[in-house]
Amino acid sequence: MSAVNLLDLAAFTASAEHDLFRELRGSSGLYFNPEPDGAGFWSAVRYCDVEQAARQHTIFISGEGTQIKNRRAEGHGAPSVHNSDLPIHGKLRAIVMPGLSRSAVEKRSEQFADIVDALLADVPRGEVSDYVEKIAIRLPMLVIAAMLGVPDDEAPLLVDWANLMSDVRATNEEQAEARAHLFEYFRGLADQKRNANADDIASLLVQAKLNDAPLEQQMLDAYFMLLTVAGNETTRFLMTGGLAQLVRQDDWPKLRDTPGLIPSAIEEMCRFVSPVTHMRRTASQDTELAGQKICKGDKLVLWFASANRDEAVFADPDKLVLDRSPNPHMGFGIGAHFCLGTHLARFETKLFFEALARQVQQIELCEAPERLPSNWFTGWTKMMVRFS
């Protein structure tokens, strides 16, 4: 096997990462990737190995960080849901589950539908426009702002800061500055909610208790930031990559004319796009995976994007199959860290594609979409389209 470097972003930027993953899946065991400024990491690329490791959450832990580098987007203060372990992980997760339940999300259907219609009305028909700028950035931003209780006019700046937190192009200093802005904003929002609770997730957080005490400020900071980043970027990438592949395959007319396929198509977009390309874990003890001995403290990276294209599980893995069934994808993760915002992501994406099917007859990709240079998120920064 030729040398593969999954830290080299060139393949990801060129949308060629699946050639590398296919090569790695064809080899036995795990793949070890050196790090120029670190100890290196093991990579799990096959579905069975990713699933096994993700379900062994007490052996492969998140508390040491979920990025390959030894850094955390929210800094090195209190843990958040995605980078904590038992017993605190379950307690933190339970705080916002009522606010992100299917019923809590769907009761906002009219509000979200209005957001979708307004955004689509702003896209000029018959003219070339940037789908990412017009739709994909704005929709998740406005939706998560509504769920959190953030006023619409304050959402754009808020999410600009959050986007910077997960931008691999940003320096540590830039991320620290954005983090400080986010924390300052959320502390003001928390104070407002303490004085006037509302039906939103921010109110749930300020009312919550952990071990019979209110959440300390650092935990509130981390939780607010996680929800903002996760609620915005992943759905944006899902909507962009999914639509791009629909158009490439000439399957937009089929979905447009058969809206009953939209729910299964969204699941397939989650698989095909895999908005979260990977998550890192750390071995809490000496163990073994895929026949490979792993030492306590070793880093293991779960490549969800590769698992979702595993030929052993998915027929025609490189094709978007609108009615794929069964579809045991890991687009929302798997195991104890399964995505908290799954219902929200599915529902807002469903509302969008239903409205798109009603309002847009033809969609043309006017140039190749531009990828985000990242191996952490499968994302796009620009996609020029023509709606008619």
Supply the CATH number for residue 344's domain: 1.10.630.10
3-class SS of residue 365: strand
Residue 5, in any domain of the structure? no
Single-letter amino acid, residue 64: E
Distance between CA 320 and CA 266 in Å, rounded?
10
Q: Which residue has the tokens 């900071």?
A: 221
Residue 298, in any domain of the structure? yes
Check residue 74 and give its pLDDT. 47
One-character DSSP codes across 48-69: HHHHHHHH-TTTEESTT-SSSS
Residue 340, in any domain of the structure? yes
Dig out the tokens for 61 from the structure.
Answer: 């832990």
Distance between CA 145 and CA 304 in Å, rounded?
27
- Domains held by the chain: number: 1
Residue 216, in any domain of the structure? yes
Identify the domain containing residue 38 by its residue range.
10-387
Residue 32, in any domain of the structure? yes
Check residue 1 and give its pLDDT. 47
Lateral strand order in the sheet of 41-44: 31-33, 41-44, 299-302, 279-283, 60-61
In 274-375, which ranges are continuous DSSP H helix?
304-307, 342-359
Distance between CA 207 and CA 190 in Å, rounded?
10
What letter does residue 215 receive in the DSSP assignment?
P
Residue 234, in any domain of the structure? yes
3-class SS of residue 350: helix
Q: Which residue has the tokens 């800094």?
A: 75
Check residue 363 and give its pLDDT. 98
**Cis amide bond preceding 326, omega within 30:** yes
Residue 3, in any domain of the structure? no
Number of Cα atoms under 13 Å in the Cβ half of residue 233: 28
Question: Which residues in the chain belong to E strands, given as ranges?
Answer: 31-33, 41-44, 60-61, 128-130, 209-210, 213-214, 279-283, 287-289, 292-294, 299-302, 363-365, 370-371, 380-382, 384-387
Q: Which residues of the chain have pLDDT under 70?
A: 1-2, 71-78, 166-168
Residue 1, in any domain of the structure? no
Query: What pTM does this model have?
Result: 0.94
CA 122 to chain centre: 26
